[in-house]
Structure 1
Amino acid sequence: MVDFIAPFIIIILSIYGLLFKKHIISKIIALDVLNTGIVFLFVVISSKLGTAPPIKGQGSYVDPFPQAVIITSIVVGFATISLLLSVSMIIVEKKRKKDLNEIEKKK
């Protein structure tokens, strides 16, 4: 039961960072932490105790689809964070501001 608490704490803290932090880099870091928390939650849910190999029976193996989804999630999360950092660097360079409230203000 304790294993399930840690991913939810990470997810809740990252949602707090997304909602209440105003610095553009803080929001990007919170989004990356949210992705990590969700992957951590899936790992905790899918983990099982035991020493037997993941084989269901004679000649049939466990479905590899959830593992492929998690690997894809990690890769997509990395690509998203890389793109966000690139775009945020361009925005900060053009606007010369890091606070999102100041960036969104119209003159």
Structure 2
Amino acid sequence: MVDFIAPFLIIFLSIYGLLFKKHIISKIIALDVLNTGIVFLFVVIASKIGNAPPLKGSGNYVDPFPQAVIITSIVIGFATISLLLSITMIVVEKKRKKDLNEIEKE
């Protein structure tokens, strides 16, 4: 049960950053931390005692499916953060402001 505290703490702190920070880069960093927290939670849930490769006949093995999902999630998270940073650079260059409240007022 103690293993679940750290990922939830990371997730809640990143949600706080998404909701209450006004700087664009702070929100993007919070979104990246949220992705990391969810990956961490998935790893904690999917971890098993077994450490043998998934071959026929071995009873205590590691399931390869969660590992494939985690790798896909990491790649999608990287692509999303890269796209967000590119769009942020364009918006900040055009508006010359970094605070979301000021950008939304225009």
* 1:52-91 mapped onto 2 (5 Å cutoff): 52-55=51-54, 58=57, 63-91=63-91
Say whether the 8 Å CA contact 1:24–1:98 is kept in structure 2.
Answer: yes
Q: State the shift of 1:62 in Å.
A: 5.3
Letter aligned with residue 13 of structure 1: L
Say whether the 8 Å CA contact 2:52–2:62 is kept in structure 1.
Answer: no
Q: Size of the alignment, in residue pairs?
A: 105
* Secondary structure at the counterpart of residue 48 of structure 1: coil
Percent identity reads 84
* 1:1-107 mapped onto 2 (5 Å cutoff): 1-50=1-50, 52-55=51-54, 58=57, 63-106=63-106
Q: State the shift of 1:57 in Å.
A: 5.1
Q: CA RMSD in A?
A: 2.0
Structure 1 gap segments, 5+ residues each: none
Q: State the shift of 1:69 in Å.
A: 1.2
- Runs of 4+ in structure 1 deviating by more than 6 angstroms, as ranges, are none
Output the TM-score relative to the length of structure 1.
0.88
Which structure has more relative contact order (CA 8 Å, sep 6+)? It is 1
Q: State the shift of 1:81 in Å.
A: 0.2
Distance 2:48 2:64 in 1: 15
Distance 1:47 1:6 in 2: 15
Say whether the 8 Å CA contact 2:48–2:62 is kept in structure 1.
Answer: no
